[in-house]
Amino acid sequence: MPAALEAILMVVDEPATEAHLASVLGRPRAEVAAVLRALSAEYTAQGRGFDLRLVAGGWRFYTRADCAPAVDRFVLDGQQARLTQAALETLAVVAYRQPVSRGRVSAVRGVNCDGVMRTLVQRGLVEEAGSEPETGAILYRTTNYFLERMGLRGLDELPELAPFLPEVDDVEAESLEGTMIAEAVAAAQEGPNQTETTYGHF
């Protein structure tokens, strides 16, 4: 089974869930989960250049953090496509307020965000999540790809913001929150979890 799991995970284009892998291999999920964790520990112990991680509810190979600079230089020649500050702020507001309408995001940021939202949708970081019953406005949420790029298992792993927000009125708090969560997303881009076998970046 370890070899079969390695072969499958070499060709996936998104994290593979334990349930799906167990179904494909015809083995109990608990057994598959144990093998995946053993493989991940083995790669770490051996100091391999790649890592097997559980991200966004599934397993996938990633380049190891220590090797990220070399991979970036080889694949991207030092050029990394980053989101603009406006896009980072918008993405951050969606992440913490989801599901949320474009109007609400614009209110938090203080500027129209229609164009930025379209960019985030095109990049697969944000998706539609139904509509608001009262107004009919389209609601948006982050995608599994967002979790994958951030290196998170779920939204519950987003950092808490309350301890860092000063005691100000609601309008000022929303503006500050938009800026601070954008800084959290920007910081995550610089972290060790962002280089993967597809070499993508925000």
Mean of pLDDT values over 122-139: 89
Instruction: Kindly tell me if the per-residue pLDDT of 200 is higher than 50.
Output: no
The CATH code for residues 85-190 is 1.10.10.10
Question: What CATH class does 2-63 carry?
Answer: mainly alpha
Going by pLDDT thresholds of 50, 70 and 90, the confidence category of residue 71 is confident
Average pLDDT, integer, range 133-153: 88
In the chain, the percentage of residues whose pLDDT exceeds 90 is 37
More confident residue, 183 or 136: 136
Average pLDDT over residues 183-194: 47
**Contact assessment for residue 149 and residue 200, using Cβ atoms and an 8 Å cutoff:** yes
CA distance 142 to 151: 13
Integer Cα distance of 100 and 52 in angstroms: 33
Confidence class for position 194, pLDDT limits 50, 70, 90: very low
138 bridge partner residues: 131
Q: What is the pLDDT of residue 180?
A: 52
Q: Higher confidence at residue 202 or residue 95? A: 95
**If you average pLDDT over each of 27-31, 70-74, 105-109, which comes out highest?**
27-31
Q: Is the pTM of this model over 0.85?
A: no
Mean pLDDT of 47-60: 93
Bond preceding residue 159 cis, omega within 30 of 0: no
Strands 138-142 and 100-101: antiparallel
> What totals of helices (H) and strands (E) does the chain contain, helices first?
9, 5
Average pLDDT over residues 137-150: 90
Q: Which pLDDT score, from 0 to 100, does residue 153 have?
A: 86
CATH 1.10.10.10 residue ranges for the chain: 2-63, 85-190
Res 8 pLDDT > 80: yes
Confidence (pLDDT) at 51: 93
